[in-house]
């Protein structure tokens, strides 16, 4: 595949890329997330019922993410951004900071971040390190009203307007390590291809979505560096 380096690119990454750094994927086939019901740890209602459980769950995930390291796929995407002349946007469904630690800068966390806290009283976002609990105070309104800055089921993902514009202008759309079956991300390939973009899927198994013009099956840490090298005209 040949694409001019001045062309706009949009990349979407999902749990599969973080899994190769040792982080748990979102949920298993039983609908559980590290042994917890999704309804208990990933909904506003779950937080209202048992905030301590939710705080503990994300504190554990924050500690796990801090111990993980970016893998070759993260590094390759950062290198692609750095070398690309045209518009570049990396959208991640992941809440860890592995992309940033690899060097990515032009990116959006559509599902929030583990290293951020959200005030449910005043709506402010603030960088957060360490554990979070019901006694932590908001730096903007001084109330003990902080929750994990994670987009839960039933909530609107972040930056959807900017994402929509980028998809409409993309010449290339690449989805990495995501099933792409949950909306709104499930609609990204349709939005990009309807605007004329070439769409590439990189995954451990093909999703069978016919909108992708190309599918590369395998480990992200192996396939993504080769893919990036091909885009940049380099030998691996």
The catalytic residue positions are 111
Give the C-alpha separation, 21 to 90, whole Å: 18
Residue with tokens 């909904």: 43
Peptide bond into 184 cis (omega under 30): yes
Q: Residue 203: what are its φ and ψ, rounded to 5°?
A: -155, 160
Distance CA 46, CA 197 (A): 39
> 36-67 b/e with 16+ CB inside 10 Å = b?
beeebbbbeebbeeeeeebbbbbbebbeebee
């Amino acid at each position: 595949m040949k694409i001019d380096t001045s062309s706009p690119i949009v990349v979407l990454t999902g749990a599969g890329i973080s899994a190769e750094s040792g982080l748990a994927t979102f949920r298993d086939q039983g609908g559980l997330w590290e042994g917890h019901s999704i309804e208990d740890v990933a909904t506003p209602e779950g937080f209202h019922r048992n905030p301590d459980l939710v705080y503990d769950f994300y504190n554990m995930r924050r500690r796990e993410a801090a111990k993980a390291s970016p893998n070759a796929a993260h590094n390759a995407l950062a290198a692609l951004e750095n070398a690309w002349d045209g518009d570049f946007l990396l959208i991640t469904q992941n809440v860890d900071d592995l992309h940033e630690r690899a060097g990515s800068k032009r990116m959006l966390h559509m599902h929030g971040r583990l290293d951020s806290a959200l005030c449910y009283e005043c709506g402010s976002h603030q960088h957060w390190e360490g554990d979070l609990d019901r006694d932590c105070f908001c730096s903007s309104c001084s109330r003990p009203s902080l929750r994990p800055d994670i987009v839960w089921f039933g909530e609107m993902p972040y930056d959807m307007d900017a994402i929509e514009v980028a998809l409409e202008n993309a010449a290339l759309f690449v989805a990495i390590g995501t099933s792409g079956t949950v909306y709104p991300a499930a609609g990204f390939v349709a939005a990009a291809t309807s605007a004329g973009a070439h769409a590439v899927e990189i995954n451990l198994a093909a999703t069978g979505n016919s909108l992708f013009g190309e599918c590369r099956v395998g480990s992200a840490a192996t396939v993504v560096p080769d893919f990036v090298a091909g885009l940049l005209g380099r030998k691996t």
